[in-house]
Structure 1
Amino acid sequence: MATKVTPISGFQEWLPADRIAEQIVLDTIREVFELHGFASINTRAMETVERLAGQGEDADKEIYGIRRLADPSGAAELGLHFDLTVPFARYVLENAGKLTFPFRRYQIQPAWRGERPQRGRYREFLQADIDIIDVGSLPDHYEAELLLVVADVFARLPIGDYRIHVNDRKICEGFYRGLGIEDVIGTLRVVDKLDKIGADGVRKLLLEAGCTDEQATQCLALAEISTADTGFVDQVRALGVTHELLDEGLAKLAAIIEVANEHAPGVVVADLRIARGLDYYTGTVYETMLEREPGYGSICSGGRYDALATDGKRTFPGVGISIGVSRLLGKLITEEGLTASRETPVAVLVAVNDEESRRDSMRVATALRSRGIPTLVAPKAAKFGKQIQFADRRGIPFVWFTGAGADEKGDQVKDLRSGDQVSADSGSWAPPEADLRPSLVLPESDAT
């Protein structure tokens, strides 16, 4: 009996060429992370619901609870992690005695959120995180360093113009306290909704939360400040609010902007509306927008957390930033047509003259693979035209002919794009470096 296949929304499943494009992006991210000295770890998919809950941004509502079908009435004690920072903090606590601090880790894994699937937001999604965590205290310079790592990643990918928007929660907290606002976290959450509900909506919520009209006006004025240099400091001072925490936050953010502008000019902007919805952030926060469509949402975000990992005796402050791989590729692949130059990693198809000589073709393939050349032996000893067609449809650039199949001239290899065919030896021939692996291809452009 036939079973109807019903799609499930909120998941990305790529066709082969797009999957290769995703892998190229992931390999690029991994390479850059390692160039900057980050070590890879992997954490389990599940955490206790107690650890996951209460982190803000409606996390409690979005957690996928895990329970056995055989126990339908039992409450879920475990849940799928909704980001990689919370499980990383737990990992550090469990392995603190075995880690060398400051510990620099990268992690590329899926996460899950039980929210309504929509453009750029998925139930299951890939994140690529880096974090630096230490014992007791963490120097501020790491907060600028993470921006440079992200800039290095994006410089190697065809993502177009982007900006990393940076703020420091201490600026907001000090400003709010200077205004006499006591519910700092609640105010941060409200202001963080600016892009979703606009200034009028935020003002209404602030007034409903107990702010005076003057306090609401000042909160919105702070959130409107955005500069590509340290000019934001004078603009904040001009608002006339004072608090020592505000001074600390302004100094830290100014230092970050100065470092970023020296090493990655034009990439970072100080944006005082950025707050981040997760409650564990305590200092610098980041969000990254594509210049061509800021409304698409952040493709890379994170921040500093000082108290997320603590065993009661020691605290492990950290700072991290996460590239939303699925969100980014949802834009680049699904909407803008980024793909790979071929749907297979194969660079060479070895033709088969007849089934009796298949072993000759297999020997050639083995020799090429031993030197790192992705190679496939033709599945059938069909006419050479059909074998060439088999390769061409998959984007395989070269076809190898052995012995008799090369008109008794010895082994030959044919470039299907130019039509050139030359004699070759399986022990020494290699394709051009650009053809060895698939590359990223943008619509209306050549391979990048």
Structure 2
Amino acid sequence: MSKPTPISGFPEWAPPQRMIEQYVLERIRRTFELYGFAPLETRAVEPLDQLLRKGETSKEVYLVRRLQGDPDEPAGDDGLGLHFDLTVPFARYVLENAGRLQFPFRRYQIQKVWRGERPQEGRYREFLQADIDVVDRDTLSPHYEAEFPLVIGDALGGLPLGQADGALPIRIQVNNRKICEGFYLGIGLTDPDAALRAVDRLDRVGPDRVAALLVETAGATEAQAKACLALAEISAADASFADAVAALGVRHPLLDEGVAELVRVIETAAGHAPGLCVADLRIARGLDYYTGTVYETQLLGYERFGSVCSGGRYDNLATAGTARFPGVGISVGVTRLLGLLFGADALSISRSVPTCVLVALVDEERRTQSDRIAAALRARGIPTEVAPSAAKFGKQIRYAERRGIPYVWFPGAGDGAEAGDTVKDIRSGDQVSAAADSWQPPAEDLLPRVG
């Protein structure tokens, strides 16, 4: 067998990175549940007609089929693809289960997704997303759009992401597509969706190319393209963006509705966490199913890599006949976020294994004694393992040092402190008598610390 080689775009974290990932996921999960979101997991595959019915995503979908199909069975796998995000599967789930759900329905999902894009730093073909959505039947109050940045601010704000104490590590850029669409209609454009898709490329291709795209794909005149770019230049950390929009002199009811909704989002976020959100009217989110507020999140210091958390309001994604379930959602690209930080060596963990205590092995005949000590420590929540072999104690200590285990337990003649059990902090050399049913390590040593 030839030596295996990595597959580009499919990351495999080493154990220390995986422990950091688990720490981050637990923080995210706990925050989601504090806000009342319930866990959900949907299947990994969806019918292609569902995956492709909203937005230009056909190049990103991985098809699923068996290597050798049964010629006697009807074809079924040919029309399946791995989901490339969690919003479309969630919308399908809502439609299938609407009769059993309580609305408004709040859920979170933390799952792998697959996307066939060109791998690069911070972008992968297989990655983990952490999503929250809320959907309602027929109508959904806009106040949910103001709530979602608060959840993300709380989930990511407490993580050790390289910022000074108390500083938020993220900034959420917020826009409302009603502002853009209303403005485009107000200046006379007849294809606001094409204009949105052009403006969505502003950061990637620059204003000159976007102006050309507006003329080529949205039917804009040079004056209309200039007006679209003027709107996209507006950015403010408070509600003053509304005055800047009004100063452009364009009027349309949809524009007014979008401005009012975005003012509410920005003011709510400012009251919860000043500096968390900024109104940025260049944010468009290219997927067609967004209809209101849209979010993109910058990791401070890594802005050049783009958004690590995005989403928005969708009114028509979960619809079938007369049934309509508008929603709003936001997704944290967990693998993307961590990949950037790992690449910059910006995250570390205090040890490379969960183990806090290594129970030394006197000899193989007394392995049962060491096993009993380990079981007693584990029963009190202390991560413990037994030495792999009855080598000299010096070698067993070096084994613990190599793995970053802070304590080594030396069994005595019996099973308790009175029989001579001791525990040694191999960093300081301090060694004390101990009993497995009462000894406790310092809190900072019990579990690995992420920093």
Structure-1-length-normalised TM-score: 0.95
1:426 aligns with 2:436: yes
Residues 71 and 358 (structure 1 numbering): CA distance in 2 closer, same or farther, change over 3 Å? Answer: closer
> Is residue 356–residue 383 contact of structure 2 (8 Å, CA) maintained in 1?
yes
Query: Which residue pairs with 2:424 in the alignment?
Result: 414
Amino acid aligned to 1:87? P
Alignment of 1:390-405 (within 5 A): 390-404=399-413
Query: Which residue pairs with 1:117 in the alignment?
Result: 119
> Is residue 24–residue 439 contact of structure 1 (8 Å, CA) maintained in 2?
no
Query: Which residue pairs with 2:22 in the alignment?
Result: 23
Per-residue CA deviation, residues 45-71 of structure 1 (Å, 9 max, x unaligned), is 000000001422x31111111122225
Cα distance in structure 1, aligned partners of 2:396 and 2:306? 46
Per-residue CA deviation, residues 275-315 of structure 1 (Å, 9 max, x unaligned), is 10111111000000123231111000000111111231221
Cα distance in structure 2, aligned partners of 1:23 and 1:428? 29
SS in 2 for 1:76: helix
Per-residue CA deviation, residues 336-363 of structure 1 (Å, 9 max, x unaligned), is 3423221211111111111111111100
- Corresponding residue to 1:128 among 124, 127, 130: 130
Per-residue CA deviation, residues 359-381 of structure 1 (Å, 9 max, x unaligned), is 11100011111111111000011
- Corresponding residue to 1:318 among 310, 313, 327: 327
Cα distance in structure 2, aligned partners of 1:423 and 1:291? 48
Alignment of 1:195-344 (within 5 A): 195-209=203-217, 210-344=219-353
> Is residue 167–residue 271 contact of structure 1 (8 Å, CA) maintained in 2?
yes
1:185 aligns with 2:187: no
Deviation of 1:34 after TM superposition, in Å, equals: 1.1
- Corresponding residue to 1:67 among 54, 65, 68: 65
Query: Which residue pairs with 1:35 in the alignment?
Result: 34
Cα distance in structure 2, aligned partners of 1:281 and 1:407? 65
Cα distance in structure 2, aligned partners of 1:200 and 1:104? 42
Alignment of 1:4-153 (within 5 A): 4-56=3-55, 58-71=56-69, 76-153=78-155
Per-residue CA deviation, residues 404-442 of structure 1 (Å, 9 max, x unaligned), is 49999611111122221111111111212222211213x
Amino acid aligned to 1:427? D
Cα distance in structure 2, aligned partners of 1:435 and 1:65? 46
Deviation of 1:207 after TM superposition, in Å, equals: 1.5
Cα distance in structure 2, aligned partners of 1:98 and 1:417? 57
> Is residue 166–residue 287 contact of structure 1 (8 Å, CA) maintained in 2?
yes
Cα distance in structure 2, aligned partners of 1:309 and 1:407? 64
Amino acid aligned to 1:410? G
> Is residue 67–residue 78 contact of structure 1 (8 Å, CA) maintained in 2?
yes
State, as a whole percentage, how many aligned pairs show the same letter: 62
Cα distance in structure 1, aligned partners of 2:15 and 2:275? 35
SS in 1 for 2:286: coil
Residues 407 and 367 (structure 1 numbering): CA distance in 2 closer, same or farther, change over 3 Å? Answer: closer
> Is residue 17–residue 341 contact of structure 1 (8 Å, CA) maintained in 2?
no
> Is residue 299–residue 324 contact of structure 1 (8 Å, CA) maintained in 2?
yes
Cα distance in structure 1, aligned partners of 2:359 and 2:440? 14
Per-residue CA deviation, residues 135-158 of structure 1 (Å, 9 max, x unaligned), is 111111111111111000112212
- Corresponding residue to 2:376 among 357, 361, 367: 367
1:167 aligns with 2:175: yes
> Is residue 54–residue 60 contact of structure 1 (8 Å, CA) maintained in 2?
no
Per-residue CA deviation, residues 297-336 of structure 1 (Å, 9 max, x unaligned), is 1000000111111231221111111000011011111223
Q: CA RMSD in A?
A: 1.8
- Corresponding residue to 1:437 among 440, 444, 447: 447
> Is residue 157–residue 170 contact of structure 2 (8 Å, CA) maintained in 1?
no
Cα distance in structure 1, aligned partners of 2:130 and 2:70? 34
1:352 aligns with 2:374: no
> Is residue 15–residue 353 contact of structure 2 (8 Å, CA) maintained in 1?
yes
Per-residue CA deviation, residues 232-257 of structure 1 (Å, 9 max, x unaligned), is 00000000100000000000000111
Cα distance in structure 2, aligned partners of 1:45 and 1:218? 43
SS in 2 for 1:393: helix
SS in 2 for 1:259: helix
Cα distance in structure 1, aligned partners of 2:375 and 2:68? 50
SS in 2 for 1:340: coil
Per-residue CA deviation, residues 211-235 of structure 1 (Å, 9 max, x unaligned), is 1011000000000000000010000
Residues 338 and 102 (structure 1 numbering): CA distance in 2 closer, same or farther, change over 3 Å? Answer: same
Higher mean alpha-carbon deviation, 422-431 vs 337-346, is at 337-346
Higher mean alpha-carbon deviation, 141-150 vs 287-296, is at 287-296
Query: Which residue pairs with 1:446 in the alignment?
Result: none
Query: Which residue pairs with 1:157 in the alignment?
Result: 159
Cα distance in structure 1, aligned partners of 2:172 and 2:243? 21
Amino acid aligned to 2:111? Q
Higher mean alpha-carbon deviation, 77-86 vs 11-20, is at 11-20
Q: How many residues in Structure 1 have an aligned counterpart in Structure 2?
A: 439
Gaps of 5+ in 1: 442-448
